[in-house]
Amino acid sequence: MVSLANGLQLPIDPQTDRRHLLKSRFSDGDRVPAYAQDALSALLKQNIWLTTPAHPDQLDLHRPINKGELAVLLYEVLAAQKQVPPIPPPQAAQVTKLEVSLSERRVTAFKGSIKHRTYPIAVGRQGWETPKGTFKVKQKFARPDWKNPFTGDVIKAGDPDNPLGQYWIGFWTNGKDWSGFHGTPNRNSVGQAVSHGCLRMYNEDIKELFALVSTETIVEVSR
């Protein structure tokens, strides 16, 4: 992973707390040696990562990588560079319902009646509350542009300051404004009531969720 990051010359924000970033995402993130923290943080920022399905929150630093995992990792790098299409999820893995708790600031994904995973979210702040009710996913975009609703200025996809991150899942609109799930360049905002009605997620979480939902996925938002 360090060799990949160095070969790709991935940038890392000098203000990023590498150790905190890795610890916040992985249960064994505090075990990453100092020499590897820059490279692994850069991979994480680019949504290029490899964990096992059995332990999605662990790096397993001392476990040798196998050929299949290495192939997936190399393919993800090529997909991030848009040289190949992203790996589509298997149909059986689709999430059928998302239950959003605004008070607990979390969303739980279900595959049928089986709980898949719960993710932390940021929710709408006072005066810009997230719409409550039952909805369906209406749109999905990878690498979305962001348009400032007040000034009309546009931040292009791929810009590290793009407030939407790398993925957008829209589920509510009044014909003008939208609410949906998206990533964020501001990780510290997740878990707070700070948005204009949308649900912010960690970039690695929205990447995973984006691959699992469809326009048939139900979104239930409650207090």
Active centre residues (catalytic): 182, 198
Contact call for residues 170 and 138 (beta carbons, < 8 A): yes
Residues whose CB falls within 8 Å of the CB of residue 130, separated by 6 or more in sequence, listed in order: 100, 102, 123, 124, 179, 195, 197, 198, 199, 221
Angle between helices 18-25 and 34-45 (to 10 degrees): 70
Contact call for residues 57 and 50 (beta carbons, < 8 A): no
CA–CA separation, 197 and 194 (whole Å): 8
